[in-house]
Structure 1
Amino acid sequence: MDAKGDDVNRLPGLDVLRAMAIVWVMIFHSYIIGGWGHFGGIEQNGWMGVDLFFVLSGFLIGSQVLKPLAEGRSFEFADFYQRRAFRILPAYLVVLAAYFIWPSVREQGELQPLWQFLTFTVNLLIDAKDHLAFSHVWSLCVEEHFYLLFPLLAWWLARRPSMRRFVLVCTAVVLAGMAVRGVMWVRELAPLAGLDQNSYGKTFLERIYYPTWSRLEGLLMGVMLATARVYRPVLWSRWGRHANGFLLAGVAVVGGAIMLFRDRTGFIPTVVGYPLLSFGLGLLVLAGAQTSGVLARLRVPGAGWLAAVSYSLYLSHKAVFHLVESAVGEQLDGHGLLTFAAYASAVLGVGALLHYSVERPFLKLRTRVLHQAPAAAHASGMMAGAGRDAA
């Protein structure tokens, strides 16, 4: 939702994919909590937009972390975590404060305790029956855990670069995720099948869908692409000549995953559906990250802007849906295009307000702070050197 990498972030193809992801997620939530209505069935699969965000984050952040390591430079952990904090926390804390100060913005049920939101542990401890307000923060929790641990793992692997170790780690992550979801399905979900559907859905969310260890395939797929881009530039360039082929293959694989997830909580999709979906979305990101494919040349009006404000939209859209529904929902029901325009205008307006009043100012502050620190260190070093010379 919030990943901003290096130069790959400016590729139009990735902007199109990020815009598509946020729109897909918002349409899904409008379908879940009420709002815009139906969109020919695509709203039921809108949760897959989160997985697309995971692949994008893995690729963009992976490229940012791996590039200095591949060049033999030291990785600046403090700089990385400061950048993430400036990027994530300001807008997040503003929306979080709104949820706790004004209960009227809560779209569904009650809130988990504040400390869980502040420690990004909501996805591990949530009560999915009665505490679903601001529950979409589960995916931000997954990304936060990734930001915390991936640089350490990448640094460790880069100390003694080995394709064999990299493949073993990637394979272990995928197999572990499949095993955990399979065991959870057999132990927790199977006994509830055909009984209480509310308990079944609650258990699915808490044990399989939300936990970080169950949702790593998308981030891993993005990291694998970043690894190829950074460590195998010749291969990456060769792939660029087949960008449109990767795009078509990605569409086909994602289509297959959609068919598989028609029974979204079944055993087979639970175990193998997420790696399959992540692979298909990874092919789309691979196509979008190239400069030679149709995605790179595609100019979708507003896609760049939607990509830029996607994080603010992600944080605020469910609350806005709920507020519009509460205020004028009855008057808008059944008015087709007017209903769509009302909800869309409100969501985009609040998202833009959050982006321009909170997100962007703190990004500018981040630039000033992080640029001042090296300058201060350089000046301190010069003064120390001058002192030694005088002595």
Structure 2
Amino acid sequence: MQIKNFFKLDIGHNRIFGLDILRMLAILFVVFSHSASLLPDTVYTFFDLFYFDGVCIFFVLSGFLIGNIIIKSVEKNGFSRSELFTFWIRRWFRTLPSYYLFVLILGVLSKVFITGFPLRAIIPFLFFSQNLTHANDSFFGESWSLSVEEWFYLSIPLLLFFSVNFFKINFKRSLILVSVALLLFSTFLRYYMYSSGHLPEMVDYRRVVIMRMDNLMYGVIGAYLSFYYHHFWTKNKYKFFVTGIVLMLAWKVLSYLYPNIESFYYVNLFYPLFCMAVLCLLPLLSQYSLKKYGKIATAVTYISLISYSLYLIHFSLIKKLLIDNIFSSFFAGSGIEFMVLKNVFYWVASILGALLLYKYFEIPTMKLRDKIKFK
């Protein structure tokens, strides 16, 4: 009974189960995609048939949720400097403590167990500058997507603040102008880099901040429609949902037809098409809540709750450091039993570790943010 309570999480009564489903799928897709080297090619290829881009789902969902937070805050309290700083503080208390904890853990373990690991490689990761213009795999490679989000948290409220307070454009108009402008900026930047032949210079443009900011803007536009055109948003939710499913299937087919990451489709249409598909799912899923939770619904919500911790722990720590380096001799066999052992360890250690991190570190640090307010 005590062990059960040790892992038990409180599920709030105001959770939106539809968004929990989306968040759960996103993190499972991400964790699965990083398990490629742990599986035989035939097995991975089979499961890949059911794979969708988890990072894009996270980006659109994050844009939607953050957009709603900003809209509701500004419409209620106005857009003063205190509102701006309060937003940043609440966001940073949500993401930074766990992130910096892992930068510390990974830095120490990498220095101890990886020969020749330079501690200076960590410096860009302290300021989220590791992938502003180029991808960086020197350390904590998967954090590229968090870097995109952190720059989104910093830049969007700031741009809106200046638009409202200095250029005197009302907030509603500022929101759609800034969202569309940033969406078009990244989209046309990818097209320019592709058409001018500069794309190879980016190393891997898919993980560069300035190349992916548009993904979040689809979610912000969804928040704009949800709040200011709520009747339209809710009335057409089933039509949008069916459209989203069709777009996802089209995206899947086209991704198999044009797998080259430097092809015209992949550079220019891959992300917009999938982000639009996710956006179309939101009108229905953002209104889907539960009054009672069965075992399956509880499991879905648990995975959703620990998704950020699971994102931080599963790859650089569990996969690269523990399986591939520190305990590599233990997992060195080539038989089926070693493959099963590696996969069981990868998933169980990632999920249990994320559960403990969320309950005993992430929740306590999030509670601190409620004590800080700017007047």
Relative to the length of structure 1, the TM-score reads 0.77
SS of aligned partner of 1:302 = helix
Q: CA deviation digits over 1:254-307, x for unaligned, max 9?
A: 2222222332331232012211111011112332102389xx999545111111
Q: CA deviation digits over 1:20-76, x for unaligned, max 9?
A: 000000100111xx2255344454885710010000110001000011323463351
Q: Which runs of 4+ in 1 moved over 6 A?
A: 109-112, 162-165
* Bigger Cα displacement from structure 2, 151-160 vs 55-64: 151-160
The 5-angstrom pairing of residues 80-159 of structure 1 reads 80-103=87-110, 113-124=121-132, 126=134, 128=136, 131-157=137-163, 159=168
Q: Counterparts of 2:197 and 2:141 in 1: how far apart (Å)?
A: 21
Q: Counterparts of 1:280 and 1:271 in 2: how far apart (Å)?
A: 15
Corresponding residue for 1:73?
A: 78
Q: CA deviation digits over 1:344-366, x for unaligned, max 9?
A: 11111221232223211111222
Q: Which amino acid aligns with 2:103?
A: L
* Bigger Cα displacement from structure 2, 134-143 vs 254-263: 254-263
Q: Counterparts of 2:29 and 2:129 in 1: how far apart (Å)?
A: 25
Q: Is the CA contact 1:8–1:289 (under 8 Å) kept in the aligned structure 2?
A: no
Distance 1:284-1:353 versus aligned 2 partners, 3 A rule: same
Q: Is the CA contact 1:204–1:265 (under 8 Å) kept in the aligned structure 2?
A: no
- Aligned length in residues: 343
SS of aligned partner of 1:215 = helix
Q: Is the CA contact 2:130–2:144 (under 8 Å) kept in the aligned structure 1?
A: yes
- Residue in structure 2 matching 1:321, options 301, 319, 322: 319
Q: Counterparts of 2:196 and 2:357 in 1: how far apart (Å)?
A: 43
Corresponding residue for 1:334?
A: 336
User: RMSD value over aligned CA atoms?
Assistant: 3.3
Q: Which runs of 5+ in 2 are unaligned?
A: 1-11
Q: Counterparts of 2:138 and 2:284 in 1: how far apart (Å)?
A: 36
SS of aligned partner of 2:336 = coil
Q: CA deviation digits over 1:329-379, x for unaligned, max 9?
A: 334852476553332111112212322232111112223x23xx58xx7xx
SS of aligned partner of 1:10 = coil
Q: Which amino acid aligns with 2:222?
A: L
Q: Counterparts of 1:145 and 1:331 in 2: how far apart (Å)?
A: 42
Sequence identity (%): 28
Q: Is the CA contact 1:181–1:270 (under 8 Å) kept in the aligned structure 2?
A: yes
Q: Which amino acid aligns with 1:74?
A: F
Query: Which entry has the higher C-alpha Rg, 1 or 2?
Result: 1
Distance 1:308-1:112 versus aligned 2 partners, 3 A rule: farther
Q: Counterparts of 1:121 and 1:229 in 2: how far apart (Å)?
A: 33
* Bigger Cα displacement from structure 2, 113-122 vs 257-266: 257-266
- Residue in structure 1 matching 2:209, options 199, 202, 212: 212
Q: Counterparts of 1:137 and 1:356 in 2: how far apart (Å)?
A: 21
SS of aligned partner of 1:287 = helix
Relative to the length of structure 2, the TM-score reads 0.80
Corresponding residue for 2:240?
A: 246
Q: Which amino acid aligns with 1:116?
A: P
Corresponding residue for 1:64?
A: 69
2:357 matches 1:354? yes
Q: Is the CA contact 1:221–1:282 (under 8 Å) kept in the aligned structure 2?
A: yes
